[in-house]
Amino acid sequence: MVGGACSVAAVVGGLALTSMAPDEAVASMPALSYETLHQSFLFSLLNELALGPPSGLASATEVHLHPLAIVGFTGLISNAVALLPCGRLDGGRLAVAAYGRRPAAALSGLCLVVLGLATLVSDEPQFLSFWALVVMLLFRQPEVPCINEVSPLDDARSRLLLPLLACSLLVLLPAPHFVPEYFDQDALRSMVFPIS
């Protein structure tokens, strides 16, 4: 959870630095394709809140970002994959501790089905299919039994798994290519990025 919080802080800080930088400095920053950025719903939302939706063909193909934002983006992806409730990943261990072996196995299967369906609707299916294959091939084995699997977790800790899974899915699922007209983008931008 600390790694995910640090990644979000790096993304917010990097996007704030990008939005405050002069145009000449932004042009010299590393660029990522717009399609790559839209492979994460959460990062895409933060990016469009900080920098606004792309305008014109040139900015629709690539986005120049401060290196701190790119580091935060990769941190978000790696933390989100680690929180998937599959096998020997951290999320799999959390699921076994919170719900037991059988419900954790069902949650793992459901998670892989959601990743598979998201791969079908993604513009760049190799992004999600790569992570789904890594999880299925390398981390799908069940966790080694613990000495004490009988003592249940308290309710507060058990309830923490589902919000963590939701955050993981917000990072790993692709974003639609539109900015909804029904929310006040300037108000949200001032809440998320108060210094810009």
Which pLDDT value is given to residue 182?
A: 43
Please state the rounded mean pLDDT for residues 164-191: 67
Which pLDDT value is given to residue 58?
A: 46
The pLDDT tens digits of the residues spanning 3-62 come to 888 998 999 999 888 888 888 888 888 888 877 887 888 888 888 888 776 654 444 578
- Which of 46-50, 87-91, 106-110, 153-157 is predicted least confidently? 153-157
Q: Name the token pair of 171.
A: 């990072």
With cut-offs at 50, 70 and 90, classify the pLDDT of residue 148.
low
Across 48-82, b (16+ Cβ under 10 Å) vs e yields: bbbbeebeeeeeeebbbbbebbbbbbebbbebbbe
β partners of residue 63: 32
Residue 191: pLDDT over 60: no
Q: What is the distance between the terminal CA atoms of the chain, rounded to a whole angstrom?
A: 27
Largest alpha-carbon pair distance within the chain? 61
Which pLDDT value is given to residue 101?
A: 81
Report in angstroms the alpha-carbon separations of 179 from 17, 32, 51: 22, 19, 12
Which pLDDT value is given to residue 189?
A: 56
Report percent pLDDT > 70 for the chain: 77
**Phi and psi dihedrals of 175, rounded to 5?**
-95, 150
Which pLDDT value is given to residue 56?
A: 46
Which pLDDT value is given to residue 131?
A: 73
With cut-offs at 50, 70 and 90, classify the pLDDT of residue 142.
low
Radius of gyration of the chain (CA): 19
DSSP 119: H
Residues 175 and 38: beta-carbon distance below 8 Å? yes
pTM of the model: 0.74
β partners of residue 33: 62
Which pLDDT value is given to residue 75?
A: 93
As a whole number of angstroms, the distance between CA 99 and CA 68 comes to 37
Which of 160, 135, 142, 124 is CA-nearest to residue 81?
135
Residues 153 and 80: beta-carbon distance below 8 Å? no
Q: Name the token pair of 23.
A: 């145009």
Number of other residues whose CB lies within 10 A of the CB of residue 41 = 17
Residues 112 and 86: beta-carbon distance below 8 Å? yes
Q: Which of 16-20, 21-25, 67-71, 187-191 has the highest mean pLDDT?
A: 67-71
- The number of C-alpha atoms within 13 Å of 17 and in the hemisphere containing its C-beta is 16
With cut-offs at 50, 70 and 90, classify the pLDDT of residue 150.
low
Strands (DSSP E) along the chain, which ranges? Answer: 31-33, 62-64
